[in-house]
Structure 1
Amino acid sequence: MSLSWPWHFVTVSDAEKQQRRELLDLRGLYAQGSILVALVLVRLYNASSSAAPETEKPAERRSRRKPVKKSWLDSPPVAGWFETRRQYILCLLWLGWLLGLSIWNSGEDYLHFTKALGHVALSQLPLQVLMSPALYMSPKPGSPSVVSVLTSVPQPIINSYHRLFGRLVVSPLLIAHAFLYSSFFLQSSHPDFSSLYAKRIRDADVQWGIAAASMVTAVVLFARPAVMPRWVKWGNVPAKTRQQVFYIVHVLIVGVLELAAYSHVSVARIYILESFASSALNFTCCWLFQ
């Protein structure tokens, strides 16, 4: 039995287009609903694991608090890396869940699957914002984010998930969305141009989409100040200055990304507006708990 690409270019009726539109909205709802479920489960797990048994003696409680050797899961996969195997595994599992959600009920419709990838990716932007250290440039950069407060997970650990979530979950889905759409345009003909791509590249929505994909790539390349491209030469610039420059550039890139996504397609606007509201909420939370 040979494996073949399961999605193809298909022609759909207006009724089928509406059905697919509703499916995309349902995917976004499921993707965001699963975030709430995950946060509740993490909170319950931390609450149950941190509660000391009533019969536990003081000496046992003190010994339980002593630092223990990190397990294989809680160690980085490569020496010098910041994130742990556990964090990589959880983010990859979440990527698998969102990918499965994109495949769900897509049938053989290439464009529907392509749109689903972008839709579920953008639905995760509010979570990404709620994990971010809003007061990164303040005297207390470790102030807890909304996700840190809700889950009782320390902000330094949330920062690791924030970085990985952007690199391993949101970015691959958005880049795949852009690649598949570009492939469709290149393979489709147009009576007045060499290809549909040659025609659509002149349209503002496609130009905004390319800008958004470029910003996603930039976010991945400039992941954190400790690991920058080799061609970026800091010289003798102090670490604090490097962190400030990184943060400003990172926020600007994300801002352009969200502007491009907002202008690219109307269905993305709800998630962009949610991310703006999440940013205000997260800043307030960090300020209150600093």
Structure 2
Amino acid sequence: MSLSWPWQFVSLSESEKQHRRELLTLRGYYAQASVLLAIILLRTYMAFPSIDQPPRDRRRRPWLDSPLFAAWFETRRQYFLCLGWLSWLLFLSVWSTGNDYLHFTKALGHVGLSQLPLQVAMSPAFYVTSTPRASSLVSVLTSIPQPTVTAYHRLFARIVIAPLLVGHAFCYCLFFLQSTHPDFGSLFAKRVRDPDVQWGIAAVSVALSIMLFARPVGATGGIWKGSIMDRRRAFYIVHIMLVGALCFGAFFHVAQAQAFVLESSAIFLVNLGCCYKTVQR
């Protein structure tokens, strides 16, 4: 069935499906290798002493390091870098898909899930102390201060991972709705009853919930009632539970996601160790 864009619903032979699976795996490797390369480049950049700059008015921040809108925390630079990374991942999702609509659809989800380990590695994962010095794995590896890394952690979830996963789910729903089934009328009516699709819907729903239930700035009521440390712990517990649910759903949604979930779990433990070491100094 043709669509109004470059991709179409195509029928593939078993050898062509195997080739598609191999390309999906390869683009996941490329996406994660890109993360390692970026960390190496950042570490190299941070290792060089900064070049002396002429005195400037410290009351004025550079345009790139100013918030995008008044009262926002993340800067224009952080938005530009995250959007640039999203563009790179979208390119990887389009690469070598030809006119195969399902290849592109699968690639969106595969590339999006490949970034979960990085998202975990940026998390300030140690909220059992009031010490603000706890550093994540990415902060330790790059020597970038944790508050800066935390800003990227928030933006990365909002404008990189979530759009890729939502796009994956949306495109699959379009495919199911436009495909017929002899017993159920539409393929959607059939597939929505299958466990793998239900796990996928649950995972995407949790991803959206993480965005919607992020701790509001200055929130003090409900579960956010109490001291700053109490609010941090409450947020941390809720956030970890939602992320765990997302990983759980992804793990049972498709076999190709299981490696990314296991990597994220291992990095979470390493991240806790990094945070513990930094608060003990």
By the TM > 0.5 criterion, same fold? yes
Q: Answer yes or no: is the 8 Å Cα contact 1:135–1:141 preserved in 2.
A: no
Matched, 1:205 2:193: no
Q: How does 1:199-278 map to 2 (within 5 A)?
A: 199-226=190-217, 234=222, 237-240=225-228, 241-278=230-267
Q: Distance in 1 between matches of 2:128 and 2:78?
A: 25
Matched, 1:106 2:97: yes
Q: Which residue of 2 aligns with 1:38?
A: 38
User: Structure 1: 5+ residue runs without aligned partners?
Assistant: 54-59
TM-superposed deviation, 1:223: 2.9
TM-superposed deviation, 1:66: 9.4
Over residues 129-162 of structure 1, what are the superposed CA-to-partner deviations in whole Å (9 max), with x where a residue is unaligned? 0100111242224411110011110000000000
76-85 vs 240-249, greater mean Cα deviation: 240-249
Q: Distance in 2 between matches of 1:45 and 1:236?
A: 39
Q: Distance in 2 between matches of 1:46 and 1:223?
A: 31
TM-superposed deviation, 1:224: 3.4
- Code of the residue aligned with 1:287 in structure 2: it is Y
Q: Distance in 1 between matches of 2:187 and 2:150?
A: 42
TM-superposed deviation, 1:234: 4.1
Q: Distance in 1 between matches of 2:82 and 2:227?
A: 28
Q: Which residue of 2 aligns with 1:88?
A: 79
Q: Distance in 2 between matches of 1:134 and 1:124?
A: 17
Q: Distance in 2 between matches of 1:252 and 1:138?
A: 19
Q: Which residue of 1 aligns with 2:274?
A: 285
Q: Answer yes or no: is the 8 Å Cα contact 2:10–2:100 preserved in 1.
A: yes
Q: Answer yes or no: is the 8 Å Cα contact 1:43–1:150 preserved in 2.
A: yes
Over residues 168-196 of structure 1, what are the superposed CA-to-partner deviations in whole Å (9 max), with x where a residue is unaligned? 10000000001111111111100000211
Q: Distance in 1 between matches of 2:4 and 2:81?
A: 29
TM-superposed deviation, 1:83: 0.4
- Code of the residue aligned with 1:258 in structure 2: it is C
Which of 165, 189, 193 pairs up with 2:180?
189
User: Structure 2: 5+ residue runs without aligned partners?
Assistant: none
TM-superposed deviation, 1:4: 4.1
Q: How does 1:148-187 map to 2 (within 5 A)?
A: 148-187=139-178
Q: Answer yes or no: is the 8 Å Cα contact 1:136–1:142 preserved in 2.
A: no
Residues 226 and 194 of structure 1, relative CA distance in 2, 3 Å threshold: same
Q: Which residue of 2 aligns with 1:24?
A: 24
SS at the partner of 1:82? coil
TM-superposed deviation, 1:49: 4.0
TM-superposed deviation, 1:220: 1.2
Q: Distance in 2 between matches of 1:35 and 1:157?
A: 17
Matched, 1:132 2:120: no
Q: Which residue of 2 aligns with 1:119?
A: 110
Give TM-score, length-normalised by structure 2: 0.92
TM-superposed deviation, 1:280: 0.5
Give TM-score, length-normalised by structure 1: 0.89
Q: Distance in 1 between matches of 2:6 and 2:133?
A: 46
Give every structure 1 segment of 4 or more consecutive aligned residues whose post-TM-superposition deviation is greater than 6 Å: 63-66
TM-superposed deviation, 1:246: 1.8
Q: Distance in 2 between matches of 1:248 and 1:267?
A: 28
Q: Distance in 2 between matches of 1:227 and 1:267?
A: 40
Q: Which residue of 1 aligns with 2:12?
A: 12
SS at the partner of 2:124? coil
Residues 275 and 227 of structure 1, relative CA distance in 2, 3 Å threshold: farther
Over residues 64-91 of structure 1, what are the superposed CA-to-partner deviations in whole Å (9 max), with x where a residue is unaligned? 7995631000010101111000000000
Number of residue pairs the alignment of both structures matches = 276
SS at the partner of 1:132? coil
Q: Answer yes or no: is the 8 Å Cα contact 2:224–2:231 preserved in 1.
A: no
Q: Distance in 2 between matches of 1:218 and 1:137?
A: 24
State the Cα RMSD in Å: 2.3
- Code of the residue aligned with 1:173 in structure 2: it is L
TM-superposed deviation, 1:222: 2.1
Residues 236 and 219 of structure 1, relative CA distance in 2, 3 Å threshold: closer
Q: Percent identity, aligned pairs only?
A: 57
Q: Answer yes or no: is the 8 Å Cα contact 1:142–1:156 preserved in 2.
A: no
